[in-house]
Amino acid sequence: MAIEWTEDLAVGVTIIDDQHKELYQRINQLLEACNQSKGREVVGETIKFLEDYVVTHFGQEEEYMQKYNYPDYPKHKGYHTEFIKSFQELKARFDADGPGAHIVIMTNRIVVGWLNSHIRNVDKLLGAYLKDKALV
């Protein structure tokens, strides 16, 4: 099951929106690789990319939050930390069991739902704050 980026997910900060689009594309690659039983190496490379990319993306957002004194920074950073732990669980499960339907299910549960909710309910607030301050 693919996930789709739609304009209602845009937060209005180009670099963050572009990173979100890339995350969606890579998650789709992971889901597709699992669905096609592409094998441990292909799925593993995608999971590793996502693991690194999420840290980079969250780092970019957190840099903006700190630089522009975003009042909800501690809570927002906490959401990022929770997600990274969940993603590490997904990676550990993959490392133990390999690719398969269980990785697709876990990816949908841990990544897809969280990402959609986080962008709509948390990142949009950050985007509005940054735009309101005319900072980015």
In a domain, 100, yes or no: yes
pLDDT by residue (tens digit) across 3-23? 788 898 999 999 999 999 988
Helical residues (DSSP H) of 1-136, grouped into ranges = 14-35, 40-67, 73-97, 101-106, 113-118, 124-132
In a domain, 1, yes or no: no
Hey, which of 14-18, 87-91, 103-107 has the most confident mean pLDDT?
14-18
Contact 70, 76 (CB under 8 A): yes
* Residue of 110 and 22 predicted with greater confidence: 22
What band does 97 get if pLDDT is binned at 50, 70 and 90? confident
Q: Check whether 81 has a pLDDT greater than 70.
A: yes
Q: What's the confidence (pLDDT) of residue 1?
A: 59
Domains of the chain: total: 1
Cβ-proximal residues to 105 (8 Å cutoff; 6+ apart), any chain: none
Residue type, 96: A
Domain residues for 95? 29-132
Q: Check whether 136 has a pLDDT greater than 70.
A: no
pLDDT by residue (tens digit) across 113-130? 888 899 999 999 999 999
User: Which CATH number characterizes residue 45's domain?
Assistant: 1.20.120.50
In a domain, 8, yes or no: no
In a domain, 114, yes or no: yes
pLDDT by residue (tens digit) across 48-79? 888 888 889 999 999 999 999 999 999 999 99
What band does 44 get if pLDDT is binned at 50, 70 and 90? confident
Q: What's the confidence (pLDDT) of residue 98?
A: 79
